[in-house]
Structure 1
Amino acid sequence: MPRTYVVTGAASGIGLATAELLAERGGRVIGVDLHDADVNVDLTTAEGRADLVSGVADASGGRIDAIIANAGLALPVAKTAAVNYFGTLATLEGLRPLLADSPAPRAVATASMASLFPPDDALLDAFLAGDEPAAMARASELEAGPPEQGNLIYGTTKRALVRWIRRNAPGPDWAGAGIPLNAIAPGVVETPMTEAYTGTEEARTAILEMVPMPLNGIFQPRDAAYLLAWLTSEENAHLCGQVVFIDGGSDAVMRGDSTW
C-alpha cells in the first residue's frame, strides 16, 4: 500500500519539490498551502489550523503515514511568527492522531540554520511558553522597529521550533507512540521565498558572507526534499529529536567542533 504524506507549504519551494519527489516514488501526497493545494488553509489563524486537520482527515480517510510540516515565511513581519511556530505546532499536534494506524508513522518539520543566530529573548520566551497573544504582540513590536529588529523574527521562530522538537520528540506523544519526530535545518535554498537573497550575483555573494556554505554553496529545493523523504520513510526508525543541518557546512563553520 502506498504511504500517505501530508506536506504543508506544498505550492512552492521545498514543499513543492518534496511533494513531487514523493509522488514520483509512488507515494500519495496531500498538499497543503494557502492556494493551489489539495487543502487550502491559512495557518496564521485558529480557523485555518482547524480546517487543516479536518481537510486532511477528509482527504486521507482518517489515516496518514507521515507529516512534513514545511510551511513558513521568511519575512520580517509578525505573520511569520504565527506561521513558522504556532502554525507548525498546530500541524504536528493536530495531525498526530491521524498517524495512529500507520505501521511506520513519521513526522518532520522544516527549521533553518538561522536557528543558530541570536534570537529575540522576549519573543523566544513567549513561544516556549505557548503564549501566542504575547508572541504576536512582541513580533508586532519588532516588525514596527528598525530592520535589524524585524529581521530577528524569522531566526527566533526557528530557534523556538527546534527547542520544541528537542523537548517533545522523546516524550510519550511522539517516541512513546512510536513516531520519530525530527527537523531539517536548511542553509540558503533557491526558492521564491529567498529570491531577495539569491536573485542576483551581488545578493548571493552578500548572503554567503553571512551564511558560509563551503560545500557546493546555495542549493535547489530538491536537495532538501531528498532528506525530508528519507526522514519520513520506513527506513528511518530511530532518529529522535534530531535537527539535521543540510547547509553546505554553515553549522560546522559557525559552531566549529561544538555540537551545542
Structure 2
Amino acid sequence: MRTIVVTGAASGIGRTLAGILADRGDRVIGVDLHDADVTADLTTPEGRTALVERVREVSGGSIDAIVANAGLALAIPKTVSVNFFGAIATLEGLRPLLAGSAAPRASVTCSMASLYPPDQELLDDLLADDETAALARAEVLAADPKLSALIYGTTKQALAKWVRRRAATADWAGAGIPLNGIAPGIVLTPMTKDLTSTQEAVDALLQQVPMPLNGMMGPEVPARLHAWLVSEENSHLCGQIVFVDGGSDVVIRGDSTW
C-alpha cells in the first residue's frame, strides 16, 4: 500500500483524486483548510511548516508520493501565496519523506492559463523566490481591473517553469523522483462555478479557452492523470507539464514547442 499526500483534498480535483487513489488501495493523507486529515493554511510560512510537521506525524515519517494540488483562482494576492509559494513549500518540505519509498513520485497542478502572457514583474519575483516582492506586485495588479486577471496565469506559469528547472536536478531526478505536473483546461468544480453558471458565460469562456475535444471536463479527468503520474508505472516522465485541456494547448501553441 502506497501513502500519497494530496493538498486541496476537500473539493474539486483533489477530492476526486483522493477517492480514486483510495479505491485503488492507496493510503491518502488529505490536506486542506478544513475537512481533511491535515488542516493547514498554505498562505503563510507558519501554515506550510505545520503541513510538513503534521504530515510527518500522520505518515510515520515516510510517504510514497506528493500531489501539490491546492490552489486559488481569485484575482487576489493570496493566490500568489497558495499557487506558487505554497506548492513549492509542499514539494520541498515533504521531499525528504519520500526517501524511504521504493517508487517516490511528485506531481503538481498547473493550468493551461500558464500559456497566456504573464505579468513579467510578478513572474520575475516568483522565480526569484521573493514572496514579499511578489505579494506587493500582486496588490498592484489586484487593484487594477484590467490587470488583476494576470495574477492566476502568472502563478501557474511560474510553477510550470519551476518544475522544468528542478525536475532534472540531483534532489529530484538524481534521487529517483519523477517530478511532473498537469495543466488542465476548464474543469467543472466549485472553483469555476461562477464562470460557468450560464450558457452565455460558458460560450464566452470557451472563446478564451478553446477545448475542441469534448469541451469542459469533470474533475475526474485531471485526477486520473495525477493518479498515473504518482503511480509506480511512471518511472521515466521527468519535468513534463502534461496538458489535459481538450486541445487548448494545440490550438494556442500549435507545433511551436519544437
The one-letter code of the counterpart of 1:29 is V
CA deviation string 1:112-156 (max 9, x = no partner): 0000001000000000000010000000111111x2211000000
Query: Deviation at 1:13?
Result: 0.3
Query: Deviation at 1:258?
Result: 1.5
Q: Aligned equivalents of 2:38 and 2:257: distance in 1?
A: 38
Query: Deviation at 1:197?
Result: 1.5
Query: Deviation at 1:80?
Result: 0.2
**Are 1:185 and 2:220 matched, yes or no?**
no
The one-letter code of the counterpart of 1:126 is D
Aligned partner of 1:149 in structure 2 is 147
The one-letter code of the counterpart of 2:163 is I
Aligned partner of 1:34 in structure 2 is 33
Query: Deviation at 1:106?
Result: 0.1
**Are 1:97 and 2:96 matched, yes or no?**
yes
**Are 1:206 and 2:201 matched, yes or no?**
no
CA deviation string 1:62-96 (max 9, x = no partner): 00000000000000000000000000000000000
The one-letter code of the counterpart of 2:112 is M
Q: Aligned equivalents of 2:25 and 2:198: distance in 1?
A: 36
Aligned partner of 1:225 in structure 2 is 223
Q: Aligned equivalents of 2:246 and 2:105: distance in 1?
A: 25
Q: Aligned equivalents of 1:153 and 1:196: distance in 2?
A: 18
CA deviation string 1:187-227 (max 9, x = no partner): 00000001122222111111001000000000000111110
Q: Aligned equivalents of 1:188 and 1:108: distance in 2?
A: 19
Q: Which runs of 5+ in 2 are unaligned?
A: none
Percent of aligned pairs sharing the same letter: 67
Aligned partner of 1:17 in structure 2 is 16
Q: Secondary structure at the match of 1:184?
A: strand
Q: Which runs of 5+ in 1 are unaligned?
A: none
Q: Aligned equivalents of 2:198 and 2:67: distance in 1?
A: 30
Q: Secondary structure at the match of 2:61?
A: coil
User: Runs of 4 or more off by more than 4 Å in structure 1?
Assistant: none
Q: Aligned equivalents of 2:49 and 2:257: distance in 1?
A: 37
Q: Aligned equivalents of 1:144 and 1:223: distance in 2?
A: 34
Aligned partner of 1:197 in structure 2 is 195
CA deviation string 1:4-30 (max 9, x = no partner): 000000000000000011001111000
Aligned partner of 2:126 in structure 1 is 127
Q: Secondary structure at the match of 1:183?
A: strand
Q: Aligned equivalents of 2:17 and 2:124: distance in 1?
A: 32
How many residues matched? 258
**Are 1:63 and 2:59 matched, yes or no?**
no
Q: Aligned equivalents of 2:71 and 2:231: distance in 1?
A: 23
Q: Aligned equivalents of 1:73 and 1:207: distance in 2?
A: 18
Q: Aligned equivalents of 1:72 and 1:257: distance in 2?
A: 29
The one-letter code of the counterpart of 2:165 is R
TM-score normalised to structure 1 length: 0.98
Aligned partner of 2:252 in structure 1 is 254
Q: Secondary structure at the match of 2:125?
A: helix
Q: Aligned equivalents of 1:171 and 1:185: distance in 2?
A: 22
